[in-house]
Chains A and B, each alone.
Chain A
């Protein structure tokens, strides 16, 4: 079946850029998403990208999509302590499938 994979942990220093990576297997994916989960809260949609796009930028967030390699990344520029959270990649082909989540830790 379809699968979405992410590394589980990422640690960066405040002010640095963070890059969270995701790979997926569903070649029929139409949309790919990044969700953020803060401690004790549900998931919030951060951004999404359509499968025929290579890149999308939204303020400090840059999403890169390599459809050939089925690889998605989220870059957070000037990472702040408030960016500490779990970030989920998700893809929609037939249904919405989530990755395991990457826990981002930002050290001052």
Chain B
């Protein structure tokens, strides 16, 4: 089954404690991205990756890091989380960055609370 998986699904942590949210896709997609969803703001892109070892900032990259060492994985790293990073995070992948019907497949989301 084609899917994007994220772990953990729920996480409560404290300010400053480094954390990683994993994302994995089994569709051999080149393009992967991370979004955060906040009430009234919709989805905002944090980082994206066009292919292995190619990453770039999205609209709200501050406080986040990513890596793309393998095609299937695209972890999101928060080196020193702060309460304003409390949000719902989605990983997505597609076969190309642009293109009409290249469906972006979304993971189920990770709800992060930073105390």
Q: Which A positions have Cβ atoms within 8 angstroms of B?
A: 4, 6, 8, 30-31, 40-45, 48, 50, 88, 92, 95-96, 98-101
A45–B104 Cα distance when bound, in Å, is 8
Interface range on chain B: under 10, 10 to 19, 20 to 34, or 35 or more?
A: 20 to 34
Instruction: Identify the 5 closest CB pairs spanning chains A and B, nearest first.
Output: A42-B106, A100-B42, A98-B43, A98-B42, A43-B106
User: For B35, what are the chain A residues with a Cβ–Cβ distance below 8 Å?
Assistant: 98
Count of chain A to chain B residue pairs whose CB atoms are closer than 8 Å in the complex: 43
How does the 8 Å CB contact mask read for B15-50 relative to A, with 1 for contact and 0 for none?
Answer: 000000000000000000001000011111100000
Q: How far is the CA of A95 from the CA of B43 in the complex (A)?
A: 13
Whether B90 pairs with A43 at a CB distance below 8 angstroms is: yes
| Cα separation A48 to B103 with both chains bound (whole Å) | 10
Residues of B within 8 A of A41 (CB): 108-109
Let me know if A88 and B42 touch, CB within 8 A: yes
CA distance A95 to B100 in the complex (A): 12
Select which of B45, B101, B103, B109 is within 8 A of A95 by beta carbon.
Answer: B45
Cα-based distance from A82 to B44 in the complex (angstroms): 27
Q: How far is the CB of B104 from chain A (nearest CB, A)?
A: 7
